[in-house]
Structure 1
Amino acid sequence: MQFLPPEDAPKGEEGKNYLYTRVRLAWYYRPSDVSERTVTDPRLLLAAIYSEVCDINQLRAKCHVVHRDKISDLSGWKKRPDRFYFNRLFDPYIKKEFEVIPSHDVRNLPDNIRDVLTSRYEFVVAEKEVIPDLTDNIRLCDSCQEWCPSADSVLCDRCKKYFHMRCVQPPLIAKPSRGYGWTCAPCSRQHDEEVDSHEIRHATPLGVKQTRSNAPAARGRGRPRKDKSLAEKEENLPVKHFNMWPFRYFGQHTVAEDTLDPEDLIFPRTASRIGPKYQATVAAAPEPYSTPPEIEERGTDHTVEVLGIINTFTESELAEAEDIKKRLSDDADLQTSVDWLTEVIRRLSEAAMDGAMPSVKITPMRLEKWKKSETPYKDKEWSRSEIVAFEDAIQQHGPELRAVRDEVATRSIYEVVRFYGLWKSVKQGEETRRRKATGPPPKPISRQYKSIAEANDGQRVGHADDDSSIIAQPSKTPSCGACRTRESKTWWKAPKGLPTNILCDTCGSNWRKYADLNVRPLREESVPLTKARDKREGTPLAGPSTKRARTSISAHSTPPPTISIAPQNRCLACLKSGLPGKVLRCKQCQFRVHAGACGAIVDPTAADSWVCELCENEETLEASINPDCLLCPRPSNGEKRRRIAEKKYWPPPDSFLRACKPTEGQGWLHILCAVFTPELTFTDASRLRLVEGLSTISRHKWTTRCWLCAEVEGAVIRCSDCSKEFHASCAWKQGHKFGFEIQPVKSSRRDSTTTVTFKGETGCMNAIISCKEHDHSKRDIYDLCETNEGGETALQVYCQAYKQAPVGQAHGLLRKARRLDAMLNLRSAEAQLLVFKQPPTPIVEPECYRCHSQFSPAFYRVTDSSFALNGHRSGEEVWMCHRCHFELNETNTGKSMGMMVS
């Protein structure tokens, strides 16, 4: 837009002798930078009425930005380098997009306004809904033959003529509501006459129905021949500018006559926020408050502490005050201290008001009216050790003074804040004295050269080598973060998130010009498990290969991929690293785990703000604040108190045992305990939420001693390969094998057995816990975080297939009641078998004889002594549900039927 001299160049004719060192650049936005929608065309831009002044050495290249209507062959335009186009404008202050149309397309304007608009500006910026009104033919009022702006005019629905709202008789106060039309007086009169005459019959217009045909569309004469000369002419077409801008706003909130003023603002505007919709209605001012006579007025000498009345002293009182000040202290440093002088003035003023000037004393402590205890008027001197600790803390924490106070434990936060101000002023004074001793700073580069001859002899301004984005000396083995090439004349800095921090010349130029990167995906280089097992113990898996490396490299061969240096998190379940989207890190406690191993469904863009469920529960309090697992032994209170005193998390976030899930009773269970205990299920297996079935665990598991920790508390699980029983958490701490094994299923049992397919293997998946003493090399056991082709972990596949509660059959309370019924029936059957030494009798569920319902809070036995009920034999047990019992008692029909309900 404009080349400018240095910022410190003088104004006027003398400033013309300076070289241009700055440039004013018009601002264009990429659509993806200002909106959430994706735009596939990297050549499409959004214009803006916004400019920025930059140093001339920040210019990268020259490009052509043309309006879409100026381009005849868009595909050919985009094939040429450094060619962009725009058709909309984005305002960075309103955060809104506007349409951009050529100014000569605006027709609905008076001639004088349209001539000024087209002579000054090449384009017009307006809202999308205003464009049809602007590009329509000029609208004149049928009454006064003057221009009708859309805001002040109304359209007749029959004759399609426009009228000023003030020209209509009577004048219109407002436009018709949406969905209603308006007709002028002659059209209304003509319509009434036609209706009264009953002679005109309005026929329903029949639309011409187009016949569908299977014939191919008419073929044109081919694609127009590309004309290179036409494309070059389009680049050099003249564009009108007024005050360096080719467009201005002429939309809904513009007064057309203001366009004639050359000083009128050209920026987009919004609706005015004036009126009762935006302003508050303030009530009338209240009556002035009158102070009761018995209440003392505030602000008098009795309620305000007087800090000093030295300005009211006479000459003799001032001389006496000077003598008193000299008698108080002979220390020169103390006599120049601001705190000491402030206290002296305060004490002298109080003594003068009380008439006791000679008896003034300055003590280290003073009693203020609004405080219960005395406070020192000056801080105690800082020792050398305290100053050293303070400076070390400032170097480590910066101006975070509460953290500094923790390092300097002998001082309060108030003393630290006061000393920080004093220490900072001393440092600034030393810096000022050093600058005065060394002289003024050197003259800026822009003021050193006044002519081109002098500039050519000195440093070149705007040279490409001055670009801070170019890396002069890359590493010994450079590799482009996008295309993996290792050879390039120039290396550029790469954006974050790529495997390396440099880009080759081609990728760097494409990124800086078009924000386009052709990133080639990394190949996962993982060592097969069979090869890893074959290596001897102590041999590194990434050791040098025994094969001789190839020395000749083909010109067309693909260079080997480089090792990714992108930041990764290490999962605490499988001890493998992954990208932040796959391995989540808790924002508060730094707990790290694969998303599939904890049932977390997180948007990749919000992975940095993920919080584990225990930390989230501290805010929401949806479950118990006691995070101890209900199936594991309780930790000792000493261990918990120690971690709480050290301000650490419990359970510790450096172990997978921090991954817990809430139960239906608002308790907590380890994910390991919930998954590897067969009796437990999840209400939502995809997210591993709300563990159910805790009451169905057999009594044997609760009363068995753990083989590892020798504790009876908690519920144990059994080893898959031996008879040892232990807690799941104890087995995890001891390094036992946790995983999933797929067993083949016979064809005759496939209909009755749930089968899954994982990594090409189909069968019944079983949860396996095996002691570390057993040999697992000959078994295919999948780890917790091992993923299939779809990205699902083995834990996810197992839980979704076998740990999902039947939520579609009944609600949670009914499922819990059924589990309790089954448990009570089982215990009663066991007791009957033990006491009577005979098989238990089958339990018959009661059924109401009236409504035949089997579900009721209570059933009542009905004894019939006179006749049979609904086909029941006399003496047979007949039941009635609670609702029927209540209805019979209310209507008093039970007595009439001659039955007795017990």
Structure 2
Amino acid sequence: MSAEVPFVILKNGDKVKINDHVYCSPAWSARDGTPYSVARIMEFLPPEGTLKGKAQSNENYARVRLAWYYRPSDVSDRPVADCRLLLAAIYSEVCDISQLRSKCFVIHRNKISDLAGWKKRPDRFYFTRLFDPYIKKEFEVILSTDVRNLPSHIREVLISRYEYVVAEKEIVPDLTDSLRLCATCEEWCPHPETVQCDRCKKFFHMSCVQPPLLAKPSRGYGWTCAPCSRKHEEEVDSHEVVRHITPSQPSKPKSNAPPARGRGRPRKDRAQAEKEENMEIKHYQMWPFRYFGLYTVAEDTLDPEDLIFPRTATRVGAKFQAVVPPLIDRDNPNASTSGPDLEERGGDSTIEVLSIVNEMKEEEVAEMERCKRALTSRSDLQSSVDWLTEVTRRMCEAYLSHRSFSTVNMKSPMRFEKWKKTETRYTDREWNDEEMAAFEEGIHTYGPELRSVRDEVRTRTIAEVVRYYGHWKNAKLREENARIRAGLPAQPEGHHAAAGASSDDEGSVIAQPSKNAYCGACRTRDSSTWWKAPKGLATSSMLCDDCGLNWRKYADLHVRPLRDGSAPPAKIKPPLAERIEKREGTPLNGPTAKRAKVSAFSTPPPPAPPPAAPQLRCLGCQKSGPLGKVLKCKECQFRVHAGSCGALVDPAAVESWVCDLCHNQKALEASLNTDCLLCPRPKRDRKSKAPYPPPDTYLRACKPTEGQGWVHVLCSVFVPETIYSDASRLRLVEGISTIPLHRWSTKCGLCEQSGGAVVRCADCPKEFHISCAWQNGYKFGFEIQPVKSTRRELMTVVNFREETGSMNPIISCKEHANTSKRIIYEICDMNDSGETALQVYCSNYKQVQVAQSHGLLRKAKRLDSILNIRPTEGHVAAKSGPEPHCFKCGTEFAPLFYPFRSDFVCHRCYFQERGADDKPCTVS
């Protein structure tokens, strides 16, 4: 009686067994919008803790071991147009069986007779390469039957066990070549030890050549054996040198067979397609392939326990190990000694004993445990590995020095190690909230690339980041296990996996979409099911049924409608926005010769949105956004929404964006003194080389003024008197000289300093500097106040979200930030067009009228108002009347000329002579 083949019925009704391929994914919130993973079922496992001897027929399968596949976009930043291409891996993991979504098919490219037809069918994938996640390198995958350059007994074992062979790309031609035998000893010539004669094309072992070769010829050079070299010398001596020509391969005879099938009409042979889907693949110890590449010993293949994983070059030799020369005796320099007086490494005097509990008596061990529990009442410390290790070490030190265990204390976190000159901490110092937030943001952006995460945290060493990463992962697993225990998920019965459960346990289906719902990919409004869209999709937060499944299965939002071989193509109806008359079987990505016919009742499809971008956290609103909306300075790592710092960046150059302060370090367009002119002068250490303002705060966003100084973006926006010559980029800042004197003379209620411009709280008479308010957590935003219809012609009215009225900047202190009933939009809140509230306010209220004026002229008028100079009839504009010129400097280009007798003097010469103290002009 044959053993029963284990199988599981998934929630969608698919019946899967061992070696079938499936989609696997946790809940939508847990995987953060990433597509499904593709994997192969290796074995079904009972619930954790089940006895191994339990009968298999009565098992309740709750877990499954999966062999993962990678998508090319998962391991590389290079885009791959083929969404059906995967990368195999010799990597497995145990998952909950409830994470299996549906069945799919994955086979090697060489086993597919019609690739174009295969890719036109749903849930079909293929692979040609393997990616090793440990050494992070790709390898070629070839059929084991294609390997010919092997001894017969090794080749037979390889073919009988494995379906595929994994090797480096450069060694594949040697493996697939015919059997190579040494011309001297007639034994097999493996690749690393083989050299080929350039004339007779025979192979030799490097040790069989006389004299033996120590290394292969350099690239671009050839080698000839002794007979061929002797023959060539005889030809040279006889002056009958014949040019050696490699015989060409005979051309293949012509055939009347039809050409190979390309990317045309798909194959109609359904039997062949079903045969490829159900093709038997050999597996040995649950794996269909093994590594047989550059660093493999061929005889090790015969060992059934030999490791099958890819390998790299060994790190043994002078390149990686230090060669210590023998010691020289000073009394006898000619005699060398190995140093018998030196302490032997690994002895008692060269190692540090961390515990000798095994040498203690039971009573002493019990006393030590009692004193250990009395040292702390914190449960987290009592289970901490670092704390327990240090306590044990200190207890053992007290035992060796014949002291009582009660004398041990853990107040000091420092310890003295034998091999270090200074004391070190036995455990890392506590992480604060800012460091933990930066760490989690780095993990979200870079994944487990801990060196990049260390650069994001900045205040921790790589060793501390690695240790904290382990604790952080354990905490996540602890929370997940607690949720599982609290939820008590139902276990499947027998060989079936709760077929009656809801198909929406992953939480990605929108149960009640809005009335104006539309797909973020194809813009259709007609769909039976609406799916949550991945993060970074700028158009909409939901996808239609076709686009949602395409993203989850193929990681592509723009896959054309698929045909299943089980149904004729006419019965499958494409989405409303994709009902395009197109000949069946045309290339997937080929250009269309005619304009697509779109239904009159549907919105034409928009251009392809960009793929899901990495999320960055803005320092202005502490919210994350995709790269492009949130920019990251290439130099100082400052992160901010593009709309809240006046950055207009080409989408192709978002990764190379630099902030204004870093750009000025090289361009030198403004002053190198980056102190804000609207804030009191900060006291800083002159020896400090840290950038100012620091890049970890929104106050790093600064803009140049018309006088080549700098002000904070916040200060320039919320001080009423300042304006911009270009509000779209928030530069140049003008009007600082028009700020009234009482703003400068009033002391700040937070820092108790004067010297900067103060503003008033919107709900009370408190006055403070804007930068001080930001650092103390005051609420910044904008309020939309309604305007009467009779006054709309006199005031600037804006539309933001669903409100219309006058937009006013608001700063509320902590006492009124939560009690005020007014609706305040934060500086980074966006409207439907993607503009931030700060952008809308500055473009409507902070833009100076530049059409009829010049920047220098505006500055001169402000200076005239300060000096109480009234414009006279003698002031002549530069463009009115005949072209005047300055009799002093001779210029004809000035915003304003002043009369002098029968001549004129330019504005610059006039104020150079007059000065700021209102002294009379010497030219007059």
Give TM-score, length-normalised by structure 1. 0.47
Query: Which structure is larger by alpha-carbon Rg, 1 or 2?
Result: 1
Specify which structure has the higher proportion of helix.
Answer: 1
Give TM-score, length-normalised by structure 2. 0.46
